[in-house]
Amino acid sequence: MNISLKGKKALVGGSSRGIGKAIAQQLAESGASVTLLSRSVDKMQDIIKNLPKTENQEHSFLQVDFSDFEAYKAIIFDYFKNNTIDILVNNTQGPQAGGALEKKVDDYQIAFDLLFKSVVFTTELALPHMQKNNWGRIINVASISVKEPLNYLALSNTIRAAVVTWSKGLAMDVAKQGITVNSVLTGYFDTERIAQLNAKKAEKLGVSQSEVRKTMERQVPVGRIGKPEEYGYLVSFLASDKAAYINGTNIPIDGGLLKSL
């Protein structure tokens, strides 16, 4: 099956590393023109140099800080004054780790701005062009923790669940306009984020980081941690015409880790 996104424009959040970078890479390989969103200009410049490019593709980047919503709001609003996109991948860095007893109400507000408000605001700006063209793809990077909460990720569990339920409602509202809205529930992937979480977990448990990783691998039925490029393959498919009948779904990509239906 050939996935072609030729002529499509994609905006990918958190794309200077990890899953976001892998998504941008695969969308570009499938023919899309990609705009990266991240804080790191140097990393984005390096990535763009190495993205596949044909005469029909133009890649770019936009420096943003998702953790400062008001600043992000101004930058992304200005971007959409002169740009339109066909594919939106909502992805940001994760909020700070910690359990429910460690977090205060202000922490939840910060996480809400980071994970929810940025997603909703960006989607609102992207939708008019999609509605006009009767074609669009909105893909949210979420987590398996919306189905089976991880007690050390209270903020992520809570706010990503809100994103997923909001997405379901939006999917019903825009489906007849040729726009699909789906969420990908992320399992364990070999990224800097998971390495940071493992380091904190190892310190808390008084064990080595390698032991934490081995335990994590044993929990996954396929016996390993996911590769970021495997995530990119799924998103590229969801962004294509081949996935036009997939809408309003929450798709786990976790090697079989989720035990719930």
Report the catalytic residues. 152
Residue located via tokens 């062009």: 129
Residue 216 parent element (H or E): helix 209-219
| 38, 20 Cβ separation under 8 angstroms | yes
Question: Nearest 5 degrees, angle CA 234-CA 7-CA 47?
Answer: 60
Beta bridge partners of 10: 34, 87
Tally of CA atoms within 13 A in the half-sphere of 195 that contains its CB: 5
- Name the burial class of residue 134, with classes exposed (0-12), middle (13-18) and buried (19+) by CB atoms within 10 angstroms of its CB: exposed
Rounded (10°) CA dihedral 19, 164, 225, 22 = -20
Secondary structure letter of residue 97 according to DSSP: P
d(CA 190, CA 39): 21
* HSE-CB of 199 using CA atoms within 13 angstroms: 6
Amino acid identity, residue 75? I
Q: Is the dihedral of CA 36, 91, 113, 77 positive or negative?
A: positive
Give the whole-angstrom CA distance, residue 9 versus residue 35: 8
